[in-house]
Amino acid sequence: MSTLEIKNLHVSVTTEAGDKEILRGVDLVIKSGETHAIMGPNGSGKSTLAYSIAGHPKYKITSGSVTLDGADALEMRVDERAKAGLFLAMQYPVEVPGVSVTNFLRTAATAIRGEAPKVRTWVGEVKEAMAALNMDPNFAERSVNEGFSGGEKKRHEILQLELLKPKFAILDETDSGLDVDALRIVSEGVNRIKGSSDLGIMLITHYTRILRYIKPDFVHVFAAGRIVEEGGPELADKLEEKGYAEYITA
């Protein structure tokens, strides 16, 4: 059993007008096997939370803590956080020209596992995972995300998740830009990975459509940089019906 614990987290970013506080005291605990949906309007701080946990240098932690199994994640380098078991699926995955998907994945797996996977075994792992995500095997030899469609980029993120086997996955608007078929395939991939492991999930989304496939145990409403309401899956149904107006007004 692993635990990702966020306590009273305050985060700022630097703007032309000076430092601007984005997160204003976030408290959240995610345990192995749990799925937490983070929902809220644009600009509420959801993605800031994701990138702050992952270690993006743009975001300045002004107070609070993030611990993974009791260890201070904020004191770790970005690669150390990944090795400790944190994974971020980005809303807008970046392209890495000149680096093939195969080499990228094997290098990442080597760093996580502490030794290079045996080539024959590794090729089988990658082919099996790609087939499960309906990915063309030729993509393995293409540069990372270069020329990929939005749906292909998101499938590649889930491919990484399956092969790297983290303790916790932060999925930042993984449903963004996906058509119905791609959403189903990506969601099935997440469910398959969770079903074969104790993966804890922080699922950031605006909409409830992905929650029809990936069932949350807990739903947290974000507004103005903090969690303003919490509940079970029924809270997502309320948001679908009424939207975020009452939280924005408050």
pLDDT per residue as tens digits for the range 207-235: 899 999 999 999 999 999 999 999 999 99
Q: Tokens for 147, please give them.
A: 């020329």
List residues bridging with 221 in a β-sheet. Answer: 39, 229
The pLDDT-based confidence of 250 (bands split at 50, 70, 90) is: low
Contact 110, 102 (CB under 8 A): no
The tens digit of pLDDT for each residue in 160-215 reads 999 999 999 999 999 988 889 999 999 999 999 999 999 999 999 988 999 999 99
Percent of the chain scoring above 70 in pLDDT: 100
Strands 35-39 and 18-31 turn out to be unpaired
Q: Which helix (H) or strand (E) holds 100?
A: strand 96-100
Round to whole Å and give the CA distance between 52 and 23.
10
pTM: 0.93
Backbone angles phi, psi at 224, to 5 degrees: 50, 40
Sign of CA dihedral 132, 137, 143, 148: negative
